[in-house]
């Protein structure tokens, strides 16, 4: 399957993407995580991206589209992929249309995670990420690690993202409203977009997403019913 997750910062895209990708045995590709890897490795791309991410702005399209083009060309995406955080404006959406058309493939579903802004702020301010694996996401109240500051899954140190400062989050929300929200309309016109309420327990949101793509429900262990 080829799936996109769209939603404002803190909607739970990363949290759901990890679970959906494992459940469906497809690759989870997060542009935010790819940029953070580049930043961590000190590449030129990472240095360019850092300036924009730090300011709460989108990384320029030519950089982002080039990075995704290269990632989707790798053989591990042949079984399918779940894109988290791309496309984030209509230029990127049209570029993805072109990439998919070139490989004679199409999207199966676009899941639009909908969440009130006041909940987003609480989720982002309590978020902690693992330094060793950005897919290991915690929250100091909603999903705390057993030992404060230590990842339950791999023992890595937990940290707070630099762009999760309040002023930067406000800027990211503004970019979402003006540039990313219109992308949902692009996919509605293609008949593949479904809005999923993203409030409530992580497991409930996961089940709504699985329902939307016709894959039944998952229990807490992640198995289908």
Residues taking part in catalysis: 13, 88, 127, 161, 172
Stretch that binds ligand AP5, among 30-38, 73-81, 103-111, 216-224 (CB under 6 A): 30-38
Instruction: Give residues 75-114 in contact with ligand AP5 (rule: CB under 6 A).
Output: 85-86, 88, 92
Is 32 one of the binding residues for ligand AP5 (CB under 6 A)? Answer: yes
In angstroms, give the least distance from the CB of 24 to ligand AP5: 17
Residue 92 vs 207, nearer CB to ligand AP5: 92
Q: Is 56 in the site for Mg ion (CB under 5 A)?
A: no
Residue whose tokens read 């009130």 = 116
Q: What is the DSSP string of 25-89?
A: T-EEEEHHHHHHHHHHHT-HHHHHHHHHHHTT-PPPHHHHHHHHHHHHTSGGGTT-EEEES---S
Please count the helices (runs of H) and the strands (runs of E) in the chain.
Answer: 9, 8
CA distances from 20 to 97, 138, 173 (A): 22, 17, 24
**Which residue among 14, 24, 198, 218 contacts Mg ion (CB under 5 A)?**
14
Distance (Å, whole) CA 212 – CA 196: 8
Residue 148, sorted as left (phi over 0), alpha (psi -120 to 50) or beta, turns out to be beta
Residue 172 interface partner, choices ligand AP5, Mg ion, none, CB cut-off 5-8 Å depending on type: ligand AP5
Q: Is the distance from CB of 12 to CB of 205 less than 8 angstroms?
A: yes
Q: Which of 29, 59, 111, 210 binds ligand AP5 (CB under 6 A)?
A: 59
Rounded to whole angstroms, how far apart are CA atoms 145 and 151? 6
Footprint (CB under 6 A) of ligand AP5, residues 8-27? 9-15
Longest dimension (CA), the chain: 48
Whether 47 contacts 59, CB under 8 Å: no
CB of 215 to ligand AP5, least distance (A): 19
**Within positions 98 to 157, which residues make up the interface with Mg ion, using CB under 5 A?**
none
- Residue range at the interface with Mg ion (CB under 5 A); choices 13-21, 55-63, 69-77, 195-203: 13-21
Site for Mg ion, residues 168 to 187, rule: CB under 5 A: none
Q: Which does 2 bind (CB under 5 to 8 A by kind): ligand AP5, Mg ion, none?
A: none
For residue 87, cis peptide bond before it (omega within 30 degrees of 0): yes
Residues lying near ligand AP5 in the complex (CB under 6 A) are found at 7, 9-15, 31-32, 35, 52-53, 56-59, 64, 85-86, 88, 92, 123-124, 126-127, 137-139, 142-143, 163, 172, 200-202, 205
Residues lying near Mg ion in the complex (CB under 5 A) are found at 13-14
């Amino acid at each position: 399957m080829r799936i996109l997750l769209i939603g404002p910062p803190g909607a739970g895209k990363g949290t759901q993407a990890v679970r959906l990708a494992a459940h469906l045995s497809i690759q989870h590709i997060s542009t935010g995580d790819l940029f953070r890897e580049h930043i961590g490795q000190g590449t030129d791309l990472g240095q360019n991206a850092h300036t924009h991410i730090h300011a709460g702005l989108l990384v320029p399209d030519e950089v982002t589209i080039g990075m995704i083009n290269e990632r989707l060309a790798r053989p591990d995406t042949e079984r399918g992929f779940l894109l988290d955080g791309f496309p984030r404006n209509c230029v990127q959406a049209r570029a993805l249309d072109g990439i998919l058309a070139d490989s004679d493939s199409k999207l199966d579903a676009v899941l639009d995670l909908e969440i009130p802004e006041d909940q987003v702020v609480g989720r982002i301010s309590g978020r902690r990420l693992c330094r060793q694996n950005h897919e290991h996401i915690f929250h100091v109240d909603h999903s705390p690690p057993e030992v404060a500051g230590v990842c339950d899954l791999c023992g890595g140190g937990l940290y707070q993202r630099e762009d999760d400062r309040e002023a930067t989050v406000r800027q990211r929300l503004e970019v979402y409203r003006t540039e990313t929200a219109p992308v949902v309309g692009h996919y509605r016109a293609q008949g593949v977009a479904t809005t999923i309420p993203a409030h409530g327990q992580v497991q409930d949101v996961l089940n709504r997403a699985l329902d939307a793509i016709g894959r039944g429900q998952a229990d807490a262990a992640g198995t289908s019913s």
